[in-house]
Amino acid sequence: MLNDLLSADMDFCVLSSDEQEKIVRLQQSILESVINGDNYLDVISQVCKLEEQLLPNSVASVMLLDETHTFLNVLVAPSIPAEGIAQLNGLRPGPGAGSCGNVIYCQKAQFVSNTSTDPRWQDLRQLAYNFNLCACWSVPIYSTHKTIIGTFALSSFEHRSPSSFHLRLLDIGAAIISIILERNKSQETMRLFEKVFEGTEEGIMITDANKHILSINHNFTHILGFTLDELHNKTPKEFSSDLHDAAFYQTMWEHINAKGYWRGEIWNRRKNGEIFPEWLSIAAVHDETHQITHYIGIF
């Protein structure tokens, strides 16, 4: 499931470079929260807030089916007022039960661009009017058994249809939320982190505070050719292209230490000697005392 949802490379390749970077930054922020072991509700709330930032004039929500699989209730909706959440709780799926209710009813994603006229919103028309919800895009949240357990939605205060970028945001959000819910349920934190880690087509590397490599994902190995056994406890100098001078790296690390991140193009060397350019994003991970514990590189 995660490979299908997080990868979506045919969609990714048609995105602009700016949209691609936003996707990488979203994934990076969530990876940092997972590494830090943040509370699952806080991580899901962060997913919602980050996606709201990427779709201005919108609110995000996560609804889950109750134990009887009869009603939907709001789990997290950081930007929806309490009275709105109260009206959404206890939503019974059906053909007129809005985008989220129809995800459960129809067992597939629902994209409504006009809640005022779309028949899928006929039972929630007053709710849409009260809170100025003009459009609502909702996708399924799956369990590890591939059954739909809830919905992840972006509701807009203007009439609009999702672009390829928005569709990818929805898929990534739903996939990550599914993983976080499962992590909380099973407490198998490392196994589930590995799903996030391996479920993206980007190459990912994690180092300790001294820049010694601790972990890489499958696609890092696929792209560069190095295995973890070859790189473990070594530094990224192992695949340096030697095309950048010391001043380049000094400026890069000064920016990371000052701002907490760096993004840009860098030339590296594959195991076979081939030199190639990559768009790299590096972020520093801090503990509760604000000390750097890890660095995450995604390209």
The full set of domains in the chain, from first to last, is 2-196 (3.30.450.40), 202-298 (3.30.450.20)
Are 6 and 277 in contact by the 8 Å Cβ rule? The answer is no
**Between 23 and 256, where is the model more confident?**
256
pLDDT of residue 8: 41
Q: What are the b/e assignments for 256-286, b being 16+ CB within 10 Å?
A: beeeebbbeebebbeeeeeeeebebbbbbbe
pLDDT of residue 188: 53
Average pLDDT, the chain: 88
Biggest CA-to-CA distance, the chain = 64
Q: What percent of the chain has pLDDT over 70?
A: 91
Sheet holding 261-269, edge to edge: 213-216, 204-208, 292-298, 275-286, 261-269
pLDDT of residue 186: 63
Q: Half-sphere exposure of residue 33, counting CA atoms within 13 Å on the CB side?
A: 23
pLDDT of residue 7: 43
Backbone phi, psi, residue 181, to 5°: -65, -40
When mean pLDDT is compared across 8-17, 163-172, 201-210, the lowest value belongs to 8-17
Q: What's the distance, CA 138 to chain centroid? A: 15
Residue range 202-257, pLDDT digits in tens: 889 999 999 999 989 888 999 999 999 999 889 999 999 999 999 999 999 999 98
Asked if the model's pLDDT at residue 1 lies above 70, the reply is no
Asked if the model's pLDDT at residue 11 lies above 50, the reply is no
Are 85 and 74 in contact by the 8 Å Cβ rule? The answer is yes
Mean predicted confidence (pLDDT) in 82-97: 96
